[in-house]
DNA sequence: ACCTGAACACCGTTCAAGT
DNA sequence: ACCTGAACACCGTTCAAGT
């Protein structure tokens, strides 16, 4: 096989093998898609990529680090989908599209979504990249809130608290529907998304987030 | 050791061993509490209960069935906590207490809560008991909604859809907070619960769930 | 600088065999 | 009727050794 012309590349060049790290992440994604979260094992990923079981340890400290990389990619894609959706309209319309896009992403990539919020990554203090990327999701929601505030479609108030409530609604709806907990209710997923979005937007409009709150006896 | 006096018992008598099934569920709960969801393995449970690794298979078809039994117990306890909370007040007060109790339960038993909604039980079509018990959670929320409607604190509307939205909010908030996604926001969990409950109650009051909805282009 | 082979300590699950 | 011991096919992870 002919060697490719080797020009001086400014980017860090691929590994001798041909960027095994990226190949492993790709393999992980495929296993996830076809076999769900349980199928994502380090040995299976190595097999799928055609390397020995020990090879991944050159690129990832352990299984959790690989899962973290997959999740990070997922958060990036989710963020991109949210951003694109928000740009489809102003204020209320943008917020609604954001919600629809969020739920659609999760239902299009259920295993990936589960990994992103799975117990193995529950405390990601040791994966700062992932933590930063996942935090951007909240930022996107917060932007949607602030757009609503600027359009005077909801009142002023703590936009971070409002964003947390909105994200909770979306994440909860996604999880419960993926778990089948909303089946047999006589309601389609679309209807549930609409109702949830309606509740959140009306709820945000009424009152206003209290900046300081008396503790609810825990 | 003296044999206990063996009187005729009307209930189905414990197993020869002394109700290993219950002992296994108890052991599973303890492993969960001390080691999290990852620690819940069939072999570890057997060891903890002092039986051979194969013994659990006399009582559970597989690991999933044991997890299902643990989850079922969790849903029962959660349901009881929700019911008790609702009785602490009418309408709005009851609903608020319900929300507080829900989040408190999850944060008091984080590993158990995760198991209840974990991927291994995601489709529980084959565990009808669990499915029924978990469905009761939605029913409790729905009762809270209907109490609000009867007290005219929210308008009429599809109470199932409203319950699904409320549960989504609670479940989402629990999951995100357990995952640490609401840390460093300058907001305590109590504040987030208050804000979320406020949003939901205001949101339910405004408008009304449409019984039939045009599809949101999926 | 990157990868392999072999090993260790774990899993879930099955099955003959024990009492 | 209930439990054990041994086995099989998997795991994650480590480490000397190869190129």
Type and span of the H or E element at B161: helix B159-178
| Tens-place pLDDT, residues B86-128 | 999 999 999 999 999 999 999 999 999 999 999 999 988 899 9
Q: Which residue of A has its CA nearest to B121?
A: A179
**Cβ of A17 less than 7 A from strand C:** yes
Instruction: Name A86's Cβ contacts closer than 8 Å, sequence gap at least 6.
Output: A94, A95, A97, A98, A140, A143, A144, A147
**Cβ of B188 less than 7 A from strand D:** no
Q: Write out the two tokens for A200.
A: 């959140």
Residue A26: half-sphere exposure toward Cβ, Cα within 13 Å: 8
What pLDDT was estimated at residue A179? 96
In angstroms, rounded to a whole number, what is the distance separating the alpha carbons of residues A155 and A206? 7
Is the distance from CB of B49 to CB of B20 less than 8 angstroms? yes
For residue B208, pLDDT beyond 60 = no
Q: Which of A217, A212, A121, A116 is nearest to A171 (CA)?
A: A116
Is the distance from CB of A165 to CB of B169 less than 8 angstroms? yes
Nucleotide nearest B55 (Cα, C1'): D3
What pLDDT was estimated at residue A17? 65
| Tens-place pLDDT, residues B140-186 | 999 999 999 999 999 999 999 999 999 999 999 999 999 999 999 99
Rounded alpha-carbon distances, angstroms, from residue B206 to A188, A195, B202: 22, 11, 6
Q: Which of B159, B164, B201, B202 would best serve as a mutation to test chain A binding (most A beta carbons within 10 A)?
A: B164
What single-letter DSSP state applies at residue A18?
S
Q: Which residues of chain B neighbour A191 with C-beta distances below 8 Å? A: 161, 210, 213
Q: Which of A168, A173, A190, A209 would best serve as a mutation to test chain B binding (most B beta carbons within 10 A)?
A: A168
Find the Å distance, CA of residue B104 to C1' of nucleotide D13: 38
In angstroms, rounded to a whole number, what is the distance separating the alpha carbons of residues A8 and A168? 48
What pLDDT was estimated at residue B3? 35
Spell out the per-residue pLDDT of chain A, length 218, in tens: 333 433 333 333 334 567 899 999 999 999 999 999 999 999 999 999 999 999 999 999 999 999 999 999 999 999 999 999 999 998 999 999 999 999 999 999 999 999 999 999 998 889 999 999 999 999 999 999 999 999 999 999 999 999 999 999 999 999 999 999 999 999 999 999 999 999 999 999 986 554 433 333 33
Q: What is the pTM of this model?
A: 0.90
What pLDDT was estimated at residue B206? 83
In angstroms, rounded to a whole number, what is the distance separating the alpha carbons of residues B56 and A128? 41
């Amino acid at each position: 096989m002919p060697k490719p012309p080797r020009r001086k590349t400014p980017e860090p060049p691929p590994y001798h093998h041909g960027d095994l790290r990226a190949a492993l992440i790709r393999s992980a994604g495929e296993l996830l898609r076809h076999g769900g979260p349980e199928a994502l094992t380090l040995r299976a990923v190595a097999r799928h990529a055609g390397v020995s079981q020990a090879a991944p340890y050159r690129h990832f400290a352990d299984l959790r680090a690989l899962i973290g990389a997959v999740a990070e990619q997922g958060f990036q894609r989710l963020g991109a989908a949210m951003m694109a959706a928000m740009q489809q309209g102003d204020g209320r319309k943008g917020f609604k599209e954001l919600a629809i896009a969020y739920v659609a992403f999760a239902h299009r990539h259920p295993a990936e979504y589960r990994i992103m919020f799975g117990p193995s990554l529950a405390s990601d203090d040791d994966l700062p990249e992932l933590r930063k990327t996942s935090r951007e999701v909240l930022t996107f929601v917060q932007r949607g809130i602030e757009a609503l505030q600027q359009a005077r479609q909801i009142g002023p108030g703590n936009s971070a608290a409002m964003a947390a409530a909105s994200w909770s609604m979306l994440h909860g709806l996604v999880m419960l529907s993926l778990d089948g907990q909303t089946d047999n209710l006589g309601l389609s997923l679309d209807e549930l998304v609409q109702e949830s979005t309606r509740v959140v937007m009306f709820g945000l409009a009424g009152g206003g987030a209290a900046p300081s709150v008396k503790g609810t006896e825990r």
